[in-house]
Structures are given as C-alpha cells and as structure tokens.
Amino acid sequence: MQGKIGVLVMSYGTPESLDDIETYYTHIRRGRKPSDEQLNDLTMRYEAIVGGVFPLREHTNLQVASLQDKLEQLAPGRYQCFQGLKHARPYIEDGVAAMAKAGITEAVAIVLAPHYSTMSIGSYLERAAVAAEQAGITMSGVKQYHMHPKWLQAITERVVAGVERLEKRSAEMDKTMVLFSAHSLPVRIRELDDPYEQQLLQSSEAIAQAANVKNWQFTWQSAGQTHEPWLGPDLLETMATLRDEGVTAILVAPIGFVSDHLEIMYDIDIEAQAEAKKLGITLERITMLNSDPLYMETLAESVMELK
C-alpha cells in the first residue's frame, strides 16, 4: 500500500504553564520581550479565565484526535494527523519534523481558523511550506473554509440557540442585535488586498440569512497592544454605540475563532460582560465549536478535497 498522507493540523498555541507565558508572548512579538506591564497584564488575563489552566491546549489536542478519527472513518488508513502550533510547542516546524520522521512524503496543511488572511492563515501555511520543502515533503494547504456548508450549519445552529437563550432573558426582543466578531488585524492589512474582511462579512451574511436574523452587524475584537492602528470598531465600542441606539440585548457570535480560549473566555465572557452590565445590556454568546462533529467533517472534507 502507498504511504500515508500526513495532515498538519495547525493552531495558535497557548502557554504550557504560567511560567511559560513570557516565552510565548515573546514568540508572538517575533522575539521582542514584552514589558513587565504587558507580561503582568497577560498573566492576569490567563489567571482570570481559569486560574492558570490553558484551555486552548486541551481543545486543540481533542480537535486533532477527532479529525484523525473522522478521516479514519471516511478513508481508512489513508491519513495521519500531526499537530503544529504557531506560537508554542510543538511548533509548526516540530509537526513537520515529526511527519518526516514517520516517513511521510505527501501532506496537507490545515489551520483551525476558518477565514484567510495573509497575516494569519497565510503565515501558518508559509512556515509549514518552508519546513516541508526542507524535509522533502510535498505539501498543499487549505486556505479557508468559511463558506463550507457544514461549518455554516454548525454556527447557524448555535446562533439560533443563542437567540432563544437571549429571548428567555430579555423582555425587549425587538431591540436585539447579533454581533458577528473576529480577531482584529493591523489596518495596514487593507493595503495588501487581503480577503479577510470580505470573507468574514460573507460568512456573517450567510449565517444571518440561514438563522433568519434580521438585526446583525459585524465587529472586531481582541486588537493587539501595538503602536499601530488596528481594524475597528472594537466589540466594546460597538456595544456602547448600540446602547445609544436603544439596543438592549446582544448575542455575540465570534465566528473567527473555533475554540474556547483567552480571546473568548476573557475578552467576551469577562471584559465584554462587565461592559454590558455597565451599559444595561443583556449579553449572550454562542457556544464554541471545539470538536463539534460538523466542524470535524468540515476539516476532513477540506483536507480530502486536496489529497
């Protein structure tokens, strides 16, 4: 039988412990150490979410294992999954090295994020391609799956359920808004003719239509703390504007993310919830996909389309 096809499953990565936060943050900042203030702020956010545990690691591990199971079910014996993280161990290059060690010569790379941007998916795929070439592996990459019918269905079901939860909590459903959100990027992304914004709007529109949601907007979240301007408006600003316009209930649908992690459990569940309380807004968010079966089918089918 022909050798297995390697599947490099890539995710953002998270520290392994509280002591590892500085190394992680320095890697995100491309080798520049964060200031004490920045480091303390990030440590405080991790401590606030679950007291020093890092949920993204567990979810990524489970997603990789579940994708392996799904591929095995669809094409027995054909694929072998490897994990590669952008900012933590095992790094993308470690994942490719593990593939080479297992004798893989053909591979597909896929990222646990649905929308393409040169600054996000593009940079994962580029690092994977460089490592694969050095290891003598022929690799192709899945660029996006933001309009895959099964991913859209999984999010639509969550939006419908979220609106129902909101209806139970809020008396004024005519003043409700669904806010689709994703990680902001530096504004200079607009000069790169990047599809990120357009893809996010395209999936927001498709989900709103399928969920029969009339009042919806898109907003950015989790902008980085750098000196350059980031895409806005941010979730917190959007909430304040909507309150001024009379909106009293909001469902946040963070469609740019697929797991429970810091940007969900701190930025939305703690920070945005506190702001909502101040503004007198009832705030709910959709549940995250993690290893949802429809999401696993989306990933498996996207991989199988390439090899």
Q: Which of 5, 56, 208, 231 binds ligand FEC (CB under 6 A)?
A: 56
Is 66 a binder of ligand FEC (CB under 6 A)? no
Site string for ligand FEC, 257-296 (x = CB under 6 A): x---xxx---------------------------------
Nearer to ligand FEC, 104 or 265 (CB): 265
Tokens of 213: 């949601």
- Residue indicated by tokens 């992680």: 24
Is 120 a binder of ligand FEC (CB under 6 A)? yes
Nearer to ligand FEC, 150 or 183 (CB): 183
Nearer to ligand FEC, 25 or 248 (CB): 25
Half-sphere exposure at residue 270, Cβ-oriented, CA atoms within 13 angstroms: 15
Distance CA 282, CA 176 (A): 9
Is 199 a binder of ligand FEC (CB under 6 A)? no
Q: Which of 7, 8, 42, 107 binds ligand FEC (CB under 6 A)?
A: 42
What is the spatial order of strands in the sheet that 249-253 belongs to? 216-221, 176-183, 249-253, 282-285
CB 282 within 8 A of CB 167: no
| Least distance in angstroms from the C-beta of 120 to ligand FEC | 4
Q: Quick one: which segment of 24-32, 70-78, 156-164, 236-244 binds ligand FEC (CB under 6 A)?
A: 24-32
Question: CA separation (Å) from 56 to 53, 59, 129, 192, 294?
Answer: 9, 5, 24, 30, 19
- Name which of 54, 55, 74 is nearest 296 in CA terms: 74
The 10 Å Cβ neighbour count of residue 48 is 14
Nearer to ligand FEC, 54 or 216 (CB): 54
Q: Quick one: which segment of 1-9, 74-82, 113-121, 187-195 binds ligand FEC (CB under 6 A)?
A: 113-121
Nearer to ligand FEC, 189 or 281 (CB): 189
| Least distance in angstroms from the C-beta of 274 to ligand FEC | 17
| Least distance in angstroms from the C-beta of 90 to ligand FEC | 15
Q: Which amino acid would we find at residue 47?
A: E
- Name which of 165, 201, 163, 151 is nearest 180 in CA terms: 201
Q: Does residue 224 sit in helix, strand or coil?
A: coil
Nearer to ligand FEC, 54 or 145 (CB): 54
Dihedral sign from CA coordinates of 187, 190, 195, 200: positive
Cross-strand pairs, 207: none
The contact set with ligand FEC (CB under 6 A) reads: 12, 14, 25, 28-29, 42, 54, 56, 113, 119-120, 183, 185, 224-226, 256-257, 261-263
